[in-house]
Structure 1
Amino acid sequence: MTFSLATWNINSVRLRADLVLKLLSEESPDVLCLQECKSPVDKIPTDLFAQAGYGHMVARGQKGYNGVAILSKQPIREVGAHDFAGLGHARHIAGQLENGVTVHNFYVPAGGDVADRTVNEKFGQKLDYLTDMRDWFRDNRPEKSILVGDLNIAPREDDVWDHKKLLKVVSHTPIEVDHLAETQDAGGWVDVTRNDIPEGKLYSWWSYRARDWDAADKGRRLDHVWASADIAAAAHSSRVMRAARGWEKPSDHAPVFASFDL
């Protein structure tokens, strides 16, 4: 049986509920993982999503900040919500589907503007968050699991518009890339997107600061879909829905899709 999954940093689920509904209507993924919902759970417009066929949700929320949610067509039960690095932020939720697949939805801290933890607390929090993720997955080796989300790191040279220019820019610095690689290795995670699309520039985020984001195309691949080693071979049909970045009043992120034969 094939099921499809999408991950999207929506940058306010209430402000952009109409865009969520547009995506659900046009693409109809079986599961949609949202980050940066910026809403308490009880304020997420679940009635609208249920009317669109997504009557099941697990989520963690905060007023105005962070927040993660998994919308599903089929029943899903919460199996975890960890406060990595003890930040007290709503940045992780895990749900298990009826087919036995566990979906981890993450929103890793962005890390601020300066890539130096001695002068930028947020950068230190980001590194600590990834270290805690690494240690947790080392102790809890994932099986039949998918990890998705805005991980706020573009790891490969072709995941950014200019590797050399961004080496000192938060999201592409060597120390962040190393921390992400250690986290991936600790869980035996496979980068599904790059397995399917092994070569070429690939982005999922374009800054609001660009006057014409599409023409400038100075993007980064910050949003990821990983699979545990036991099911990675079942993944296929990965893509970034770039067009969504051009919708009216969009998120600065585009949805990333993958399908699994499980």
Structure 2
Amino acid sequence: RPVPQVIGLLDVFTPDETLDDFTDFYLVMPFMGTDLGKLMKHEKLSEDRIQFLVYQMLKGLTHLLPGGPFADSEMTGYVVTRWYRAPEVILNWMRYTQTVDIWSAGCIMAEMITGKTLFKGSDHLDQLKEIMKVTGTPPADFVQRLQSADAKNYMKGLPELEKKDFASILTSASPLAVNLLEKMLVLDAERRVTAAEALTHPYFESLHDTEDEPKAQKYDESFDDMDRTLDEWKRVTYKEVLSFKPPLQLGTKVSKETAL
């Protein structure tokens, strides 16, 4: 069943004619006339508009898998992804949980409120420093849980920073917005609110519709954990691309809920 908050996939194809040649494939999605970044440049978003957009974002996240590892090379110009990366992604601390995208959503929500990027690091380590200026340095038990020895040593060598009150940074935000962001922008991914939990927050009280709350399907992670060679992954991907069947409702209009 299509999810209104997640962009549709109309077609998948490859111009490569054999498995040996297979290097590229294309995902065809509905055309979106604008995006949130452009919208925020053109207008100051009202509180109810922010509520609606963040609510839709979180509903979409309940249907998605945790964000995978980012490529090392930065995207340039249009999007600077580093500014929205969760701390565990920046230093590759541990396996990502479902809350990895909640961090990004929190950064976006804060930017919608203030009109400015919340954590604007100039490189990976500077990004982490910018984050910890607000969240404070994590406690020793959190550092012990880090799977990367390099990350552990780096964190142990940092000067201790006190956690800041989010209300002092987001001066124009309502108390409920601040309270939600305090739960979303938590350094420890295990203590970070999930999308489903965030949807029940009082900040969204006017939007709650229990009948329409998303009930995401349980995702079978065993597929991701399979130990395949690059050639094997290439083969199964090629097979998947060739077997893709476009949805029946190709000619139908895009749901109004996807419109900004």
Q: Whose relative contact order is higher, 1 or 2, with alpha carbons under 8 Å and at least 6 apart? A: 2
Structure 2 length normalisation: TM-score? Answer: 0.26
Q: Which structure has the highest helix share of the two? A: 2
Higher strand share: 1
* TM-score relative to the length of structure 1: 0.26
Higher CA-based Rg: 2
